Amino acid sequence: MNRKRCEVKPSLRKSRKEIRCLQNTKQAINKTIEHVEYGKRPATEEYANGYLQALHDVQAALNGEKPSGKYWVTPAEMQTLKEIIDASDNIVFFGGAGVSTESGIPDFRSVDGLYNQQYDYPPEVILSATFFQHKTADFYKFYRNKMIIDGIKPNAAHFALAKLEREKKLKAIITQNIDGLHQAAGSENVLELHGSVHRNFCTECNRPYDISIILEMEIPLCECGGLVKPDVVLYEESLNQAVLAQAVHYISQADVLIIGGTSLSVYPAASLIYYYGGDKLILINNSETSFDARVNLLLRTSIGYALGQKD
């Protein structure tokens, strides 16, 4: 089957797809060069596999496909990660939508993310407090279709973090996600900055409800007649101040801060990382962020792969 190669038009204005193709190619080529220069030769089977995968990633990028990213880290980088984690018992993890993409949940701001899809209203408008109040039926239609994913399960990233907590190394998970997958994987101390789809409440009497009422009623109503609202933070709403205070406490006291699966563009949540004052700041992300140059260790790969390989 012929593969469709990405074609960059001779124009100063390039589409998002063309830009992504160029970025993928550049990253894959840079990683291949890094593998070639590291030790000048493939000294181990792991390293040889990484070198070959990097070559495949270059070909994939040139074909307009998304490179795997699985081996876009060197053995030296993985060893550094392992040593940092092994030496600490005060680790905090700060994560975003990218943590759950391997479970089949789309992220928000990537090329194929939720915010780059077409709807009658922009997602930022639909997921606002005003829209919820005035167009409740439309809000819940979108919310059920896009924010509640049936059959999702934790992935390697969730299980790796739960394992670190059981080992008494990870003190807290601070997440921007609302899917509850960290708890499903066994993590206990999870600070949900944006709430959870699994919690809902009556806006009149504050009675709690589980997710079933959202799935069963077009417009979920409490027995008292009040409107039931998901316990998630909508646009125009403030974050829970108690959860924020806990997040600030854990980050400011952390020896190691691992950031993963986030564009670091959602505020005020992203501003929390400025409370970290240590020198073991690790960023694990498949795409570039504005914070890349400030971290002590940058791993351009998936969280599940990076943390799952540390042993």
Spatial contact of 181 and 100, defined as CB atoms under 8 Å apart = yes
**Which whole-number Å values give the CA distances from 196 to 158, 179, 234, in the listed order?**
16, 6, 11
Distance CA 169, CA 227 (A): 42
Length of the chain: 311
Report which residue type is found at 286.
Answer: N
Element (H, E) at 78: helix 75-86
Strands 195-202 and 190-192 turn out to be unpaired
194 in active site: yes
**Which whole-number Å values give the CA distances from 100 to 149, 157, 180, 230, 308, in the listed order?**
11, 8, 10, 20, 15
Distance CA 225, CA 239 (A): 27
Report which residue type is found at 172.
Answer: A
3-state secondary structure of 284: strand
Neighbours of 262 (CB within 10 A): 27
Distance CA 214, CA 140 (A): 8
Strands 91-95 and 170-175 turn out to be parallel
Spatial contact of 202 and 231, defined as CB atoms under 8 Å apart = no
Spatial contact of 228 and 144, defined as CB atoms under 8 Å apart = no
**Which whole-number Å values give the CA distances from 152 to 81, 187, 304, in the listed order?**
29, 16, 16
Q: Which of 35, 158, 182, 194 is catalytic?
A: 194
Catalytic residues: 194
